[in-house]
Structure 1
Amino acid sequence: MDLDRYLARIGLDARPAPDAEGLAALQSAHRMAIGFENLDIPLGRGIRIDSESVFDKLVTRGRGGYCFEQNRLYADALTALGVACRPLLARVRLGLAEGVTPPRTHVCLLAEVGGAAMLADAGFGGSNVPPLPIVDGAEAQTADGAGHRLRRIGEAGTAGGQWLLERAGSPAATDGRAAPHADWQAQYTFDLSEVAPDDLEQANHWTATRPGTRFTALHVASIPQAEGFASMVDRDLTVSHAGGTDRRVIADPADYARTLREVFRIALSADEAAGLPLFA
């Protein structure tokens, strides 16, 4: 991990302190600088989640990535800053009906900060998530005005998970999967079981290759903004902000590449964009 190059990529001039405030500053900077995207899947390149590959893609080449990539990079940065952390696997509940048990296709982190366990997640594409103490009822707010909380809902190893992350806020500041109200909605569930490297490889492979899923059937990109959220699903762009929500349809590969660069801070050339099935 070249920590200084990573910090430059996310716009931080100094190394944050290894405490709760530093964690919040690092996570916010990461989320607003490195867009969430799955575009290597439709481009047929596959997703590699070893540290070297992830650093090269997200930092050196200025691309984005999805949770297995984002939180690999984030975990390496935390470790370089002296913050102990380990991965957790989660079931994404956003947009699903009650009673549906999805697979564990999201990775987040348990970070040890000041002797306390914290949920750290720089790779959730559905909305902006702040660090939260892993304590029943813990709450925090993000710059878009949304509230976030953790609730303990079951024993470790149960299908429902031991912990539930919820969000209450404008559905416009999400990737479009939220229900059309601002009340508490489930984001994902997880437990604190140990996760081995092969568990991550297995979950990443399923997520990147299973036909008919969100990541193999759609082209997605999202990024939190200072007071809102930007999301692009195929050619439909939605940008929420303090003044409202703007929507438009992407015209062509050049427009797509420009929008990725200017809105999502993702470097993809127009020639690469033209190779997406979206423009076939």
Structure 2
Amino acid sequence: MTTTDPRLASYLDRIGRAAVPTLDAAGLLQVLAAHRQAIAFENLDIPLGRGIAVDGDSVFDKLVARRRGGYCFEQNRLFSDMLAALGFANRPLLARVWLQAVPGVTPPRTHVLLLVDVGGEDWIADAGFGGSFVPPLRLVDGAEGHTPDGAAHRLRRLMPEDGMAGEWLLERAGPVAATDGRSAPHEDWQPQYSFELGQVAPIDLEQANHWTSTRAETRFTTLHVVSRVLPDGFAAMSDRRLTIYRGGETEFRAIEDAAEYATTLRDVFGLDIPASELTRLRIFAG
């Protein structure tokens, strides 16, 4: 089956899907996996001194027409729009990321995911989590999903005694190398993010995006981060350190200069950014 919606057709071409997915859990997983494998997670416009726009037209132009990547507010805005075009009703949720959280400190709501109606049931779907590949999960306590990189994710309904802000908690267990490096050094269950089901207005997303992309001394204003889901693994680059986990094997590499960085972006992450532009990044200053 094909579509007559030109934007949806361009998106499906961008993620390498020749046919419109079915409106069920299998179809949701197919389009999510294709999206994550085709469109890299990256924050490079922030260190390059550009703003991050999260309206639908700007995000479509950047991630689809110009074939760039983006971070959660961009990725899940595009994914939300395209799911709606496919026929999946959905809405955004804001989340607190617990990876590397300081003990006793509640992290801010700097992540967005989607609540999706799948055949009358609530599911979560997340095309914009840079830490690892999160599969779609039905919104029930104990729901669990497995990914080709050998990891498992599960949802847990939070209780007051858990001491974590939110109604729901996403946890992950699996290979540390199949993450962006923020995972604790063990393969047991670890908290990823917590979230509530309350309504999120567009201005809430604008505010959270602005804080996340501009506040000094945060992950996205101090680091250059890129990641991409592989069919059987995960690739991540933080500043000039590259990690590729594929088929149970891990490769580490230090990026020497802007030219190698540009080649790595193109060959590993599918991003074509000229080395002449990348020399402006502070990791290559001096």
Q: Is 2:167 aligned against 1:162? A: yes
Which residue of 1 is the match for residue 96 of structure 2?
91
**1:157-215, Cα deviation, whole Å (9 max, x unpaired):** x9610000000000110000101111000000001010000000000000000000010
- The root-mean-square deviation of aligned C-alpha atoms, in Å, is 1.3
**TM-score with structure 1 length normalisation?**
0.97
Matches within 5 A, 1:262-273: 262-273=267-278
Aligned counterpart for 2:205 among listed residues 193, 200, 217: 200
Aligned counterpart for 1:245 among listed residues 239, 244, 250: 250
**1:216-248, Cα deviation, whole Å (9 max, x unpaired):** 001000111122111101001111122421111
**How many aligned positions are there?**
278
Quote how far apart the aligned CAs of 1:260 are.
0.8
8 Å CA contact 2:113, 2:128 repeated in 1: yes
Aligned counterpart for 2:129 among listed residues 124, 128, 135: 124
8 Å CA contact 1:36, 1:125 repeated in 2: yes
Find the residue that maps to 1:87 and give its secondary structure. Answer: strand
Q: 1: distance between equivalents of 2:20 and 2:278?
A: 35
Aligned counterpart for 1:212 among listed residues 212, 217, 223: 217
**1:123-165, Cα deviation, whole Å (9 max, x unpaired):** 000001000001000000011010110000037xx96100000
Structure 1 residues without counterparts, runs of 5 or longer: none
Aligned counterpart for 2:27 among listed residues 16, 22, 42: 22
Q: Is 2:178 aligned against 1:173? A: yes
Aligned counterpart for 2:38 among listed residues 29, 33, 37: 33
**TM-score with structure 2 length normalisation?**
0.95
Q: 2: distance between equivalents of 1:21 and 1:242?
A: 23
8 Å CA contact 1:154, 1:160 repeated in 2: no
**1:25-68, Cα deviation, whole Å (9 max, x unpaired):** 00000001100000000000110000111011111111100000
Q: Is 2:254 aligned against 1:233? A: no
Structure 2 residues without counterparts, runs of 5 or longer: 1-5
Q: 1: distance between equivalents of 2:275 and 2:108?
A: 34
8 Å CA contact 2:149, 2:248 repeated in 1: no
8 Å CA contact 1:61, 1:267 repeated in 2: no
